[in-house]
Amino acid sequence: MANNNRDRAAPVPLSQVVIDSGFWAERQRVNRERTIPAIYRQLEETGRIKAWSMARTHDIPKERSTVHMFWDSDTGKWLESVAYSLATHPDPDLKAQAEALIDAVAGAQQADGYLNTYFPVLHPEGKWTNLRDWHEMYNAGHLIEAGVAYHQATGDPKLLDVLLRFATHIDATFGVDDGKLRGYPGHPELELALVKLYRETGQERWLNLAAYFIEERGQEPRYFDIEAARRGEKREDFWAQTYRYCQAHAPLREQTEANGHAVRACYLYAGIADVALETGDEELLTLSRRLWDDLTRRQMYLHGGVGPSHSNEGFTFAYDMPTETAYAETCAAIALAFWAQRMFHLDPDSRYINIMERAIYNGSLSGLSFDGAGFFYANPLAAYPGVNPMGRWSGILDSGHFRRVDWFFCPCCPPNISRLIASIGEYSYSQQGNRVYVQLYHENSAAFDVARQGFSLEQVTEYPWDGTIVFEVNAEQPVSFELALRIPDWCHDYQLLVNGERIEVELERGYALLPRQWSGGDRVELALAMPVERVLPHREIRQVAGQVALQRGPLIYCLEEADNGPRLANVCIPSTTELEAIFDGELFGGVAVIKGEALRIELSPDNSALYRFHSREQVAESTFRFRAIPYYLWANREPGEMRVWLRSC
């Protein structure tokens, strides 16, 4: 079924993109030095490392309930992040640590290829009995991604081979053939991992298995009903009450809206795009565009986060965008970025990459502290210290929602943001034939091979703090390729110079195309105007009606109490205020802040009256100079209020 069109667009591998300076170099340094070690320490302390040896050593924690069925995915994502890091920054100690863990993983594999820390030891009869709720396939997917990444990074096939055996076991167990179970993942993720496995090995069976999971999902009779009946349960007993939660309420080809648990949804949709790309299935492309449009035009937060609701960690309904209680899980924004990148390669248009950039720089990056060792699960658009958006009451507040924490009971987000940062090079360029797409602007040097001509591009820029990007071509000999520069949707005014000469081009699907025979030393300068913009919400978004947000370039900004004092709800940004972007070299290693005049409009503090009549009151207005910081940096100073959307007056 594979579509072997080799002329299609594909990401340029991260091993070809050297990031030694600029925005992402610093984020990657912190990831290597702080985040990867901090996550390993947590894996160790929580027993996740030792768990791989439980079957052999019988060293089972006394409190068996501390071992959880999603643990293996944390190992998987950590190994994947390490692989990306090793690919660009070799580190023998880290490699040795990873290899010891890979040995432990390999040692836990059962004779039939099955691989899981939880079930063989703690619940052997539970194996493959509840695909809906238990995470065996989800874990498998993350381990497969790690196996592929580790093989690509180091050439070492050990983990990949282990996972190929596990994938073989899964393929033998699930499918439409007689004697197989017609199951599919409760928590999608395996689909996209199998496509990676297919691409890495060239073995079509993995693509076919991914395609099977996508076709089977939501078909009648529902597999989740069948397995529930085997467990003596009814459909109504499902705790989430609806298969929308796991996107299995209808066959995928019939689905029209992004639904349910947001991370599941975006991983699944990414898998659909992968299969569509590999098979050339036009209906899956149409489905992908339909879901994409629904999600990004009706259900996406300004910061690229998705899934407003805590109770299902997911979607509610169109235009429902609570701010303080937004869930907008870090993993969901990351998953949206994954999906966006795949959509581009399926349907090359900058609109996908614009969203990818939004999700990466805002709703994903906010999941990590500036120092690299604190994590957010939820990414609200407003915060008030002491509020618990989970809806619990005071006294038992979950501080994880206005202050980043070391770890979570379900720590899916920490290794996810780590692997995204480690692999940012892979999101920077795409190539299609002799066209080189520049997707993300940041300082780096990337090597390309176009029609067997090698050359490299040096990208020099202060982006995202400044909109000027300079490219220098390094080539021994003249080389013919088309440079496709993304003109971001936030930019309405730009200049393009080639070797100092102004060039005007028509955009094609959001890209400025520069086909040319290039020579070493050729220089392209792209100047994206980056004014501070006031963002207005769609008229159906009731929660922020009458409010504005501030954006500059790809970055969404916020006001914090640390800069602006308390009671940010009473702060108004006049529509006439001049908004200035100022680079502050002292703040967080140097960031552009936004300043301007704002009003604080409020009644005098009379503590004996909660409500007063306007006819008898003077409302005080005072002016002050506000300072807004990039949203992704919020909650890195003393705890306090934060708001993205501000009253407009």
Closer to its own copies by Cβ: residue 517 or 604:
604
> In the beta sheet, which residues pair with residue 501?
498
Q: How far is the CB of 178 from its own copies (least distance, A)?
A: 35
Give residue 401's identity as a one-letter amino acid code: H
- Quote the CA–CA distance of 637 and 634 in Å, as a whole number: 8
Contact partners, residue 297, CB within 8 Å, separation at least 6? none
312 vs 428, beta carbon nearer its own copies: 312
Tokens 């991260």, residue located: 14
User: Could you tell me the smallest distance in angstroms from the CB atom of residue 373 to its own copies?
Assistant: 28
Nearer to its own copies, 180 or 492 (CB): 492
Compute the least distance from the CB of residue 613 to its own copies, in Å: 4
Query: Of 124 and 409, which has the nearer Cβ to its own copies?
Result: 409
Distance CA(464)–CA(457), nearest Å, equals 19
What type of residue is 622? S
Distance CA 311, CA 320 (A): 14
3-state secondary structure of 550: strand
Of 206 and 384, the one with the shorter C-beta distance to its own copies is 384
Kindly state the smallest distance separating residue 299's Cβ from its own copies, in Å.
9
Which one, 92 or 605, has the nearer CB to its own copies?
Answer: 605
Other beta carbons less than 10 A from residue 588's beta carbon: 15
R_g of the chain, CA atoms, integer Å? 25
How far apart (Å, rounded) are the C-alpha atoms in residues 438 and 460? 13
How many other CB atoms are found less than 10 A from the CB of residue 622? 10
CB of 563 to its own copies, least distance (A): 18
CB of 226 to its own copies, least distance (A): 22
Q: Is 452 exposed, middle or buried (0-12, 13-18, 19+ CB in 10 A)?
A: exposed
**Beta pairing partners, 244:** none
- Residue number, 307 or 415, with CB nearest to its own copies: 307
State in angstroms the smallest separation of the CB of 61 from its own copies.
Answer: 19
For 623, residues 6+ apart whose C-beta sits below 8 A from its C-beta are 597, 598, 599, 600
d(CA 548, CA 216): 44
- Give the residue with the Cβ less far from its own copies, 43 or 381: 381
Residue with Cβ nearer its own copies (166 or 645): 645
Q: How far is the CB of 614 from its own copies (least distance, A)?
A: 4
Residue whose CB is less far from its own copies, 108 or 291: 291
Active-site entry in 412, 413, 491, 572: 412
DSSP 3-state of 573 = strand
Name the minimum Å distance from CB 609 to its own copies: 7
**Is-contact 436 484, C-beta < 8 A?**
yes
Active site residue 412: yes
Q: How far is the CB of 329 from its own copies (least distance, A)?
A: 14
Please work out, in degrees rounded to the nearest 5, the angle formed at the alpha carbon of residue 583 by the alpha carbons of 577 and 586: 125
Q: CA 242 to CA 236: how far, in whole Å?
A: 8
Which residue number, 440 or 572, has a Cβ lying nearer to its own copies? Answer: 572
Catalytic residue among 80, 136, 278, 313: 313
Minimal distance in Å, beta carbon 319 to its own copies? 8
Burial (CB < 10 A; 0-12, 13-18, 19+), residue 265, is buried
Task: Return left, alpha or beta for 244; rule: phi > 0 is left, psi -120 to 50 is alpha, else beta.
Answer: alpha
CB 32 within 8 A of CB 91: yes
Task: State the helix-helix crossing angle for 136-154 and 158-173, rounded to 10 degrees.
Answer: 150
Asked whether the beta carbons of 286 and 253 are under 8 A apart, the reply is no
Query: Tell me, what DSSP letter sits at residue 589?
Result: G
∠ CA 92-96-97, rounded to 5°: 120
Under a CB-based contact definition with an 8 Å cutoff, are residues 326 and 381 in contact? yes
The one-letter amino acid code at 48 reads R
Q: CA angle, 6 as apex, 2 and 10 as ends, to 5°?
A: 100
Closest CB to its own copies among residues 387, 555: 387
Residue 57: its H or E element: helix 54-57
Closest to 90 in 3D by CA, of 189, 21, 156: 156
For residue 603, the minimal CB distance to its own copies (Å) is: 5
Peptide bond into 415 cis (omega under 30): no
Token representation of residue 329: 């899980």
522 alpha-carbon distance from chain centroid = 35
The residues annotated with a catalytic role in the active site are 313, 412
